[in-house]
Structure 1
Amino acid sequence: MTETLTLGFSPCPNDTFLFYALVHGIVPLPGLQRPPLLADVESLNSLVRNSCLAISKISCHALGHMRRDYALLTSGAALGRGCGPLLVARRDFDPAALASGRIAIPGNLTTASLLLRLWQPNCHNLIVLPFESIVPAICAGQVDAGLIIHEARFTYAQHNLIELVDLGCWWQELTGLPLPLGAIVAQRQLGNAKVSAIEKAITASVLYAQRNPGAPTAYIRQHAQELDIEAIEQHIALYVNDFTLDLGEEGLAAIEELLGRAAQAELIPPQEGPLLMRTDGE
């Protein structure tokens, strides 16, 4: 009997783009449960932390808490350059007041919140909001500033907000590495053969979408928070890249660097054991 594989990913355009062929049966994966669970990444982080999904998108920050039970997959990740979370505020906000300001974050386990803590450890008044609520909360004066991710990167200026820092640029200047935002993980208990099959299926799904970019459009727009087609296309172009097909040595180094810095700052537990299901030489 084929084992049922539960799958979770976010409704963001890069995820619906890359998983389209897999969830619609164009790329086969025996045992995959359909439909998948679509939820914001912080909800997925919590579900994975409680071992509720066999395969899932999670924040790279969250991986630092879960690597014992979940293996990092080499396909499906969101890494890149110039793609980091932005800290934005109203035009009348004084950046000197940031340390005491109310800052909205899209979840405690998001990579965005980890980057903020690494960049500015003195920011303690952090308020968790759903990512789609952060821009409205800033505009309404409910918070002083906010970390924006996903499509909001491309639309915040329409709300008369200004950028205080691009944490992706800060990371790249600090490390010279691409910024690891999110990744796909699978339960280690599935075993090497099954995890390898999952990786190959995700790679094939990404390739299908890249070769047939119009095919996923309706599915993407069905789930996107921002329906402007230009913003959707910018989002996909930014977050679906060579690292999505294969992390490679540089992608893996970037994730290890992020988790190493986070562990050194005591923001995640000490990091032990391999990230991948298999290690070199196996």
Structure 2
Amino acid sequence: MPMSSPVVVGGSGGGGGMLLCSPTPGLSASTFNRISSPTLRLNFSTAFALNNQGRFLSKTHLNNGRRELRLVVGAAESTQSSSVATVTADKSLVPDDEFSLAKVSFGVIGLGVGVTLLSYGFGAYFNILPGSEWSALMLTYGFPLAIIGMALKYAELKPVPCLTYSDAQELREKYATPILKQVRSDVTRYRYGDEQHLDEALKRIFQYGQGGGIPRRNAPTLQMIREEVTEDGKYCLVLVFEAKALELSDFEQRQAKFASFFGPGITAEIVGGGQNLYEVRLISNTAS
């Protein structure tokens, strides 16, 4: 196999130093010259070896001072990394660490306060704890509070997780419709007495027990919601349902009903998420 001709690179600075490179067949003179752009400097005095895919041994004899060889490496990788970092920054998740009473379970509060009053009241009544003069009052209020707390705890519906991207948060207040804002608020707080989130909406859309509808036991269950921005820059609220007894076609044939119920001013899209998960994308038609 023929070898490429040696590449001679003149040294910079004073003196008549010369670098003689004997490349392997995979490295031509033009390739070597392309990677010799001035960004990465390798200072050497007598000899060096470079090994990267193709191997070549380089020797130099220096008369005066040092010579510098400048190489460009990883330019494409650096550009790609910066692009990925920019996209990641734009799509960063917003932490949901804001305190709100809607995120507090009144069942837990009532049960906790009631049980505490009952426990201390009994202890004070039998002189195990101080404050016997207040024992009757603590027992009087502790018992109903504990009962109310247990009832609320039994009937409570926990909020679903909400993933919000930073770009969607910026568009929400200005471009999300009032109904989309209300949906987000309702499903991310504790509710009491409802069997599941969006129960009334799902009942009308899937027509439980009616002709052309589905049995109530097959009703989809809301698992989470997600706020994101579409490719054309519109605000989108994604409802992620789990439905083990339904198929994608059951959602697709009700796409117009989703748009009608959660409208006006929105477009509904249905996407299969796999593992019995289905996404209903409610896209605001308000242009950003």
Q: Where on the TM-score scale, by shorter chain, does this alignment land: which range?
A: under 0.3
Q: Which has the higher strand share?
A: 2
- TM-score, scaled to structure 2: 0.21
Q: Which has the higher helix share?
A: 1
Larger Rg: 2
- TM-score, scaled to structure 1: 0.21
